[in-house]
Structure 1
C-alpha cells in the first residue's frame, strides 16, 4: 500500500501525519502498518500556494499505481468553513482540503467523485493534515470505502485554463516556477516556431542544452506543459516574472 504526502509544511510536521497513520493501522489484521510505503512528493511547496501544490500533484500522480492514497495539504483556510474531502478517481484516492488542490490531479486520472469528511470534535483547528486527513487515509488503507466517510459533494474546482491565440501570438499564464527558475505555462503544446517575450527571442528547443549558455528558449517539459527556460540560467529572474503572471508570446 502506497501513501504519498504533499504539503507546504517543511520538514517535521509530515512525520506526525505518518505517525498517526501507522498508529491507527498498528495491530490491524494482515499487519497493514508493516505494508505501508510512504512517498514524500514534496514538502517545500511555497507557503499557502494552492495552485503550486495542485500543479505538483498533477505532475506526479500518473506515475503511481491504482490503490495509491495521496494526502495533499496546502490549506490557507484550515479551521474555517471550507470542507475536508476524500476524492476517488482512476483507482487512486486523495485526501485534502476542498480548495481545488486535489482536483486537477484527480481529473487527470478519470472522473473525480468527492466525499466530505466530518472532522472529529478533538481535531486541531490548525493541523487538519494530522487530525483529519491522516486518519481518513488510515481508514481507507484499512479497507473502508471513501463513500463511508461522508456524503458525496461537489468539490471546489481549480483550472489552470488554456493559453489563448491573439493577433500577435499567444497569451498564456505562468502556472508554476520550478527551482531552476523555469516558467511553466498553461500551454500543452510547443509553438511551431521561435517566439518573442518582452522583446527577447525564445528559441524553440527539444532540450535545454540545444540553447547556447544563457540563451532563452521555449520547450515542452516532462510534465507535458510548455516552459520558458534559460540554458544554465534562471528565466524567472531574467524576465522578472512569477507564478500567475500573464504573458504574451509574440510570433516572429
Structure 2
C-alpha cells in the first residue's frame, strides 16, 4: 500500500497509525481512528482498511469531516465514531473506474492496495480533487451499535471499546465529565460491574488513583487514562487476563459509589 502511494507521489508524508487491529475487528478500527485523528491537522488523509467484506457490494467512500479531515475506507462501521466526533461535511463514493490502480480489475481481495491507498494518495497529493473522488452520497454512514456513557439512578453505564493491549488495561468510554456525576476523587472506592452482553463477568471495588505508583504492585486500581476516560488496571499486571475481561461493542461496565 505504501508503494502504491509513493508511486502516485514521492512527496507524500506517510505515517502508520497501527497494524495491530485484530482481524475483522471493525469496531476497534473505528475506535483507533477516533482516538488519533484529532491530533492531526486539517487536510490529513486517513486510509483505513479493516474490510472483511472486501470485494462485495459495500460502499467504498471518502468522508470529509467538518474538521477538514479525510477518511478513505469501506463504509462498514469504521466511520461510526469519527462521524460522531468530528461531524460529516460530505461523503463521496469512490469511482473505481477512475480511481483504481491500473491493471488491478481482476483483483477482488486487496482493495486496500488497489482502491483505498491509490485514491488516498491521489487525494493527498492533489492529483484529484475531493469532487473527483466520485459521486456524492447522503451524509449517513453505517453505524455499529454500542453502549454510550449514561448516568441514571445513581450509577454510570458505559462501554469497553478497547484494551490498552500491551498492559492489559481496560479502557472504557466513560469520560471524566460523565464520571463527575459520582463526585469521584483520588482515593475513593468505586464499585465496578462488567458485563459481556447480559452475563456478569466481573464485580469488585477498586481504589481510584491518579497514577499506578500510588498502589502496591499487583493491586487492582481504577484511573483516568490519557484520553481522560475511566479505566481499570493491575499495577504491573494485566487486568484483562486476570479477570477475562475483553473489549468490543458487546461489553459494558456499570459504576457506582
TM-score scaled by structure 2? 0.80
Q: Any unmatched runs of 5+ in structure 1? A: 1-16, 26-32
Q: Any unmatched runs of 5+ in structure 2? A: 98-103, 193-201
Q: What is the CA-CA distance between 1:149 and the residue it aligns to?
A: 1.2
- The reply on whether 1:134 has 2:117 as its aligned counterpart is yes
How is 1:1-252 mapped onto 2 (pairs within 5 angstroms)? 17-25=1-9, 33=10, 35-89=11-65, 90-120=67-97, 122=105, 124-143=107-126, 144-153=128-137, 154-158=140-144, 160-165=146-151, 167=153, 169-179=155-165, 180-189=167-176, 190=179, 191=182, 192=184, 193-197=188-192, 198-244=202-248, 245-252=250-257
Whole-Å separation in 2 of the counterparts to 1:78 and 1:118: 16
RMSD across aligned positions (CA)? 2.1
Q: What is the aligned length?
A: 228
Whole-Å separation in 2 of the counterparts to 1:103 and 1:247: 18
Q: Structure 1 stretch 101-110 or stretch 210-219: which is displaced more?
A: 101-110
> Quick check: 1:72–1:102 contact (8 Å CA) kept in 2?
no
Whole-Å separation in 2 of the counterparts to 1:61 and 1:123: 33
Q: What is the CA-CA distance between 1:218 and the residue it aligns to?
A: 1.8
Q: Which has the higher contact order (CA 8 A, sep 6+)?
A: 2
Q: What is the DSSP-based 3-state SS (H/G/I as helix, E as strand, rest coil) of the residue aligned with 2:14?
A: strand
> Quick check: 2:147–2:252 contact (8 Å CA) kept in 1?
no
- For residues 127-165 of structure 1, give each alpha carbon's deviation from its aligned partner in whole angstroms, at most 9, with x where no partner exists: 110011011112212322222211222321346441233
- For residues 165-193 of structure 1, give each alpha carbon's deviation from its aligned partner in whole angstroms, at most 9, with x where no partner exists: 35463332211112211111121124524
Whole-Å separation in 1 of the counterparts to 2:241 and 2:90: 40
Whole-Å separation in 1 of the counterparts to 2:131 and 2:29: 25
TM-score scaled by structure 1? 0.82
